[in-house]
Amino acid sequence: MSDVTYILVTGGVGYIGSHIVVELVNAGYTPVIIDIFANAVKATDNGRPVVIERMEKIVDKQLIYHDIDILNKSALDDLFAKYSFYAVIHLAGLKAMRESINMPIEFYKVNVFGTLNIVECMKEHGVNNLMFSSSGSVYGTPQYLPIDEKHAVGGCLTPYGKSKYFIEEILRDVSKAEKNWNIILFRYFNPVGSHKSGLIGEDPRATNLMSYVAQVAIGRKPHLSVFGGDYDTHDGTGVRDYVHVVDLALGHIAALKQFTTKGGLKIYNLGSGKECSVLDMVRGMEKASGKKIPYKIVDRKDGDVGSSYSDATLIQTELGWKPEKNYEEMFEDLWRWQKNNPEGYETANSI
Element (H, E) at 75: helix 73-82
Three-state secondary-structure class, residue 170:
helix
Work out the mean pLDDT of the chain and round it to a whole number. 93
Q: How is the chain split into domains, by residue range?
A: 6-340
- Between 128 and 41, the higher pLDDT residue: 128
> ∠ CA 13-348-336 to the nearest 5 degrees?
85
Higher pLDDT, 346 or 89: 89
Where are the strands (E) in 79-189, listed by range?
85-90, 129-135, 182-188
Paired strand residues for 276: 240
46 pLDDT above the threshold of 80: no
pLDDT for 38 beyond 70: no
Q: Are 323 and 158 in contact (CB under 8 A)?
A: no
CB-CB contact of 15 with 211 (8 Å): no
| Whole-number pLDDT of residue 350 | 55
Q: What percent of the chain has pLDDT over 70?
A: 95
Cα 162 to chain center, whole Å? 17
In terms of average pLDDT, the best of 34-48, 85-99, 202-216, 242-256 is 242-256
Q: Is 121:174 a contact under the CB 8 Å cutoff?
A: no
pLDDT at residue 1 tops 50 = no
pLDDT of residue 43: 56
**For residue 253, what are the contacts with CB-CB under 8 A and spacing of at least 6?**
23, 24, 27
pTM: 0.95
For residue 7, pLDDT beyond 90: yes
Q: What's the rounded Cα separation, in Å, for the pair 301 and 233?
A: 16
Query: Does residue 268 carry a pLDDT above 90?
Result: yes
Class of domain 6-340: alpha beta
Name the pairing type of β-strands 182-188 and 264-270: parallel
Catalytic residue among 29, 86, 139, 160: 160
Question: What backbone torsions phi and psi does residue 288 show, to the nearest 5 degrees?
Answer: -70, -35
Q: What pLDDT digit, counting tens, does each position of 182-239 carry?
A: 999 999 999 999 999 999 999 888 878 999 999 999 999 999 999 999 999 999 999 9
76-89 pLDDT, tens digit each:
999 999 999 999 99
Rounded-to-10 torsion of CA 153, 157, 159, 161: -40
pLDDT above 60: residue 242: yes
User: Average pLDDT for residues 151-177, to the nearest whole number?
Assistant: 96
Q: How far is CA 291 from the centre of its chain?
A: 27
What is the model's pLDDT at position 305?
Answer: 87
For residue 159, pLDDT over 80 is answered with yes
pLDDT value for 346: 77
Q: What angle do CA 246, 247, 252 make, to 5 degrees?
A: 95
278-321 pLDDT, tens digit per residue, is 999 999 999 999 999 999 999 998 778 899 999 999 999 999 99
Residue 160 catalytic? yes
Query: Element (H or E) spanning 218, and its range?
Result: helix 209-218
pLDDT at 348: 60
